[in-house]
A and B are shown apart, each in its own frame.
Chain A
């Protein structure tokens, strides 16, 4: 598995990817999704394996990096680290920041490695199953992926679905791929090629965050000093090993589900850790189990999310949507054929994720103190710099100034979406899945001679439709249960 990685170039890429990912994870507002989108143009200078190794190492390390900020300044570096704040910061306030970060580092590494094992075993099986899929099955699968947006954890389910539908709508801009008829181009030539993924991602994540930061310039963070990271004690291991394993399993499973990612995984991992704990009253006050539950789950979601991305071409999370774009840009078509034709390429990715998890453990353990200092870079210096990189990065893919304007438009739109409780993640997933949804729908209707009911005669498609209904009903059941528990 590691053999394809034994080249100095790939190891160097992996090293820098992990380092860069950690820095992105530590900086609140940035993260592996934005970072991946910003670095995507640079990957054009690399071969496909190096490019994807770079993106996946950013993904793994960035997910962990969020914990450092969550523990030290009570602000999650990435949304996936939100649950880590709940116990990480209170523990740090008690003067045990080193212990909290030590547990976060260990549980993240275990969760990450666990999920790579899941990836290695399950991705080929899923890919094998995908050989049975025709256009109607892919359509049903894409619909399942979209309905999963209802329960991604941020915002209300219907708002998420609106955002997802809007993402699909963006994918319809440009020439229709079957008939070459212009749609929503408004006479602008540059729009006939459609709206690119990078301007939308950079706009919705980086630029909208820049606008959000502009509303917070007077905010003062209470930063807790970190002396050194401490590895968990024997007592801590005894208390948490079951939680770490459980959360690793939960995180990997949630990650495999299309569109779900580390944020949902960490929230469920945390609440399950509380449910099974002998000391649930300690949660929210600095429970070491709470940190372990959240961190193992969010890092386990990284490997899990790569399963549908590589096996089916359906992103498991927002960051894997960026990785999927990276694969497509480099001419690699994810899906079952990839497993048959390029096993070395896949084993390179699996190995890279494994090494990235070990590397971020080393970097985190020895360098958390330095990474924590990155949060001291003032926003008034940091964000104008991010703007310069965002603009040049967006421009570079097609050398089009229209792309830069589109990015700014989506930045403003993303800001208002977030302000009024619409998550921006579904837009990205909708944009990625849009072409698949429409393409497979139209091709299926050609196969079925326009008879919509034929979808329900295909067992796999029918299964996905039933799962879609469950996915839509799940948030409703969850909110009723939550209400009942609160009453």
Chain B
């Protein structure tokens, strides 16, 4: 409890634009406003065919509601600041970047290769240095999963350099 209060005090001592509640509220509002602007580009049903409300009305109402509620949480946070979150460790950013690598590899080279690469990379970054376990995690297990999905569910994975060899 004391720790949380200390973290809250630490947050209050920061300028408002560095505080988490400001940053989070700002991001939500900016995204909501961008989406709200997008709703004005939706096609409009001619009045003669329109039954009830226009397709854009419901999302518009939702987005306005989200913006209003975000303003309320920001207002409440000015009175009762959020606690300062600990800095994210290196392992988080490595895991996050592995998601990006996964997307790039699965799009350009191969789906299986992407899973395999991510598994080995994450396992290694999280502290697994033994080659045997890295092989299990990165090659043997993905093969089992692939074969299982392929045979049980009759799934066809997207083409790629390794998947093509498997299918041929």
Residues in chain A within 8 A of chain B (CB atoms): 41-42, 44-45, 156, 158-159, 161-162, 165-166, 168-169, 172, 176, 178-179, 181-184, 186, 210-211, 214-215, 217, 378-381, 383-385, 387-389, 391-393, 395-396, 399, 401, 404-405, 408, 411-412, 419-421, 438, 441-443, 445-446, 450
Contact = CB atoms under 8 A, between A and B. Distances in A.
A420 B85 contact: yes
Contact of A178 (B35, B51, B156): B51
Given A178-B52, A387-B119, A446-B52, A392 B158 contact: no
B163 to A, nearest CB: 12
Given A158-B72, A165-B65, A211-B96, A388 B127 contact: no
B103 A405 contact: yes
A366 B38 CA distance: 58
Contact of A162 (B69, B85, B96): B69
Nearest to B87: A215
Contacts of A445: 52-53
B70 A215 contact: no
Given A214-B126, A383-B122, A411-B99, A159 B73 contact: yes
Nearest to A162: B69
Nearest to A422: B24
Contacts of A396: 149, 153, 155
A385 B149 CA distance: 14
Interface of B: 20, 24, 28, 35, 38-39, 42-43, 45, 49, 51-53, 55-56, 58-59, 62-63, 65-66, 69-70, 72-73, 76, 82, 85, 88-89, 91-92, 94-96, 99, 102-103, 106-107, 111, 115, 118-120, 122-123, 125-128, 133, 136-138, 141-142, 145-146, 149, 152-153, 155-158
A166 B66 contact: yes
Contact of B58 (A42, A387, A411, A438): A438
A457 to B, nearest CB: 18
Main secondary structure of the interface of A (DSSP, over half): helix
Main secondary structure of the interface of B (DSSP, over half): helix
Contacts of A45: 152-153
A211 B103 CA distance: 16
A340 B154 CA distance: 35
A165 to B, nearest CB: 5
26 contacts: A41-B153, A156-B73, A172-B58, A176-B55, A183-B39, A183-B55, A183-B56, A186-B38, A211-B95, A214-B92, A214-B96, A214-B125, A217-B127, A381-B128, A384-B120, A391-B115, A399-B155, A401-B106, A401-B111, A404-B106, A405-B103, A420-B82, A420-B85, A441-B53, A442-B51, A445-B53
Contacts of A387: 115, 118-119, 122
What are the 8 closest A-B residue pairs judged by CB atoms, nearest first? A384-B119, A380-B126, A214-B95, A176-B55, A442-B52, A380-B128, A445-B52, A181-B55
Contact of A392 (B39, B92, B137, B146): B146
Nearest to B93: A214
A182 B42 contact: yes
A450 B128 contact: no
B65 A419 contact: no
Given A183-B42, A381-B133, A389-B145, A450 B52 contact: yes
A215 B92 CA distance: 6
A210 B43 CA distance: 40
A388 B142 contact: yes
B141 A210 contact: no
B91 A412 contact: no
A384 B119 CA distance: 5
Contact of B43 (A178, A181, A379): A181
Contacts of B118: 384, 387
